[in-house]
Structure 1
Amino acid sequence: MLAAGSLASVLTACGSEDRPVRLSGGTFTERLPADRARGERLAAEGMDLLRSADSLRVDVEMTADSTEDGPGGRHQEVALHLDRNSNCTGTFDAGPGQRGDLIMIAGGAAYIRFTDESLETIREMAQARGPAVAARVEERIALVKGKYLKVPAGDGSSGRPMMPGAQCDLDEMLGKLDDAGDDGFEGQIQARPATYRYGKHVIPLVEPKADGALETNAIYVAAEGKPYITAFSLEENGKRMTMRMSDYGKPVEAHAPPAAQTIDASELGGGPAGADLFEV
């Protein structure tokens, strides 16, 4: 899953509210401040709900500063509804020429439909490379415009990713959370007053700063009902990521497009399964 490693590093399992402290002469229980005890409890419950989800809707946005990725920086986004059987539907935006819709059924073939805007960008790039490249790419654009490109599972050997591969595997995503371990926050997470983030009423869970400054990295859990994790934000080394989660347990409706709207990538040539279909 896109950004799953960062998710695992931010969302780790939590400990209890009381901590035994041993001193010479005996042991007593140190109680955490109320906001930290509440923060640990909510984070633990939210993690349990997330780990047990059979399906989930995830929207991830990642932005890098211009200092690393050229003027204006780089923005990527993927929005998917996925389950533990590797069914998923959604959209992806990995930059110019790499935007479109995605369908995957039970971890098999993926169906990708590029937006008209992406195809136009690819056309312009090809034209800049000369008549021969432009003619080859123009022919392929004509074949796939408005249609789904069927790509076999596991493909993506070219430099331009044909599909967001492992992003459709909820088991893999949640497995990375399990790998984060159960070391706990050791009292270093704090529940803030309820507020609104990304259109939802939530309780922010943050790592408190000594100077009282607002923390940019936060976990957000639902303020009403069960404390489902609805989002988290992370900023590090000039990169910012927001991951929003919803529709816990809602079945994924993933169906193959009609044959008339599908073209098999293997029929187009240009490497394995047409992997370099639009390489310019």
Structure 2
Amino acid sequence: MRRISRKQAWGTAACTAAALLAAPAVALADTEDLSAQEISDKAEKELLDAKSVHLELEQKGTDLDDEEPATMELTLDQDDNCVGSLTMADDGGSLELIKQGEKVWMKPDAAFWKAQLPGGQGEAAADIIGDRYLYGTTDDALLKDMAGVCDLKEIQQEVQDESGDESTLKKGERTKVDGTDVIPVTGRDDGKTTTMYVAAEGTPYLVRATEKGQGTDSTLKLSEYDKPVPKDTPSEEDSVNVSQLQGVQDGGPAGNL
């Protein structure tokens, strides 16, 4: 099976947020009274300090292929817990994903299996798994690669690594995003325009970030900072151990599922 790298799966989400975020925040007045750089600083600090967050990513453009998500919706935390779904670009299918520590449950649709396994193997896997979850741990290469999207610490590290990049930021007029009053901050870098929308009142959370240019436009929404990741997991009856798929992946007969 072709592996979907963590960089492909969550890298755009992290880079979209990171593009405008720079140095540590300073303690100042209300968000609306701050400069563009100060707003960026505060939003970065809140993102780096978050114990958990809900992300919604949408990507559009000619540069996407079936190894990248067109959409991704995840609730994830710093303890390697995660729940959500991904829809791959270029008719690459979709999947539901649950991770609790090292344990992973993944439920792809038939289109995903057919895109990932060559010949009739994808169709065979889809028939065998059906509407159940593939279950295992991060010791399995397939589950480890897909569960890489659940790593909030790596996303935060990506943001931190981007800090300090030179960019001219411009503050816009107060507006609303999904019912929240926000202050937009816009910057340009390497032919891309990124706009960050930061809550104008209360905690200066990053609410939305958009990136446009060079073949792909991305929108990242963030919410539910520091709220726990749901702990519900599929039952044994609704799960198939990943080891039982080995025969299909190797091109031989599948196990008794």
Does TM-score exceed 0.5, indicating one fold? yes
Gaps of 5+ in 2: 1-9, 27-31
From the CA coordinates, give the structure whose radius of gyration is larger. 1
Kept in 2, the 8 Å contact 1:80–1:90? The answer is: yes
Aligned alpha-carbon RMSD (Å):
3.5
Q: How does 1:152-171 map to 2 (within 5 A)?
A: 152-153=137-138, 155-156=140-141, 164-171=146-153
Kept in 1, the 8 Å contact 2:193–2:213? The answer is: no
User: Aligned pair count?
Assistant: 232
Note the C-alpha offset of 1:141: 2.5
SS at match of 1:263: strand
SS at match of 1:2: helix
Q: Which residue identity lines up with residue 217 of structure 1 in the other structure? A: T
The 1:183/1:63 distance shift into structure 2, 3 A limit, reads closer
Worse overlay, 138-147 or 41-50: 138-147
The 1:122/1:81 distance shift into structure 2, 3 A limit, reads closer
1:9 corresponds, among 8, 19, 25, to: 19
Quick one: percent identity of the two aligned structures?
Answer: 23
Q: Which residue identity lines up with residue 205 of structure 1 in the other structure? A: V
**Segments of 4+ moved more than 6 angstroms:** 123-126, 271-274
Note the C-alpha offset of 1:97: 4.4
Matched, 1:241 2:223: no
Give the equivalent residue in structure 1 for 2:74. Answer: 80
1:146 corresponds, among 102, 110, 131, to: 131
Give the equivalent residue in structure 2 for 1:231. Answer: 208
Q: Which residue identity lines up with residue 199 of structure 2 in the other structure? A: A
In the aligned structure 2, how far is the partner of 1:89 from the partner of 1:237?
A: 31
The 1:151/1:61 distance shift into structure 2, 3 A limit, reads farther
Q: Which residue identity lines up with residue 51 of structure 1 in the other structure? A: L
Give the equivalent residue in structure 2 for 1:30. Answer: none
Kept in 2, the 8 Å contact 1:63–1:75? The answer is: no
Q: TM-score, structure 2 length as denominator?
A: 0.75
The 1:75/1:104 distance shift into structure 2, 3 A limit, reads closer
Kept in 1, the 8 Å contact 2:18–2:163? The answer is: no
The 1:109/1:271 distance shift into structure 2, 3 A limit, reads farther
Kept in 2, the 8 Å contact 1:13–1:181? The answer is: yes
Note the C-alpha offset of 1:124: 10
Give the equivalent residue in structure 1 for 2:83. Answer: 89
User: Deviation digits for residues 180-223 of structure 1, max 9, x if unmatched?
Assistant: 234675xx222211112345331101138xxxxxx942010012
Note the C-alpha offset of 1:49: 0.9
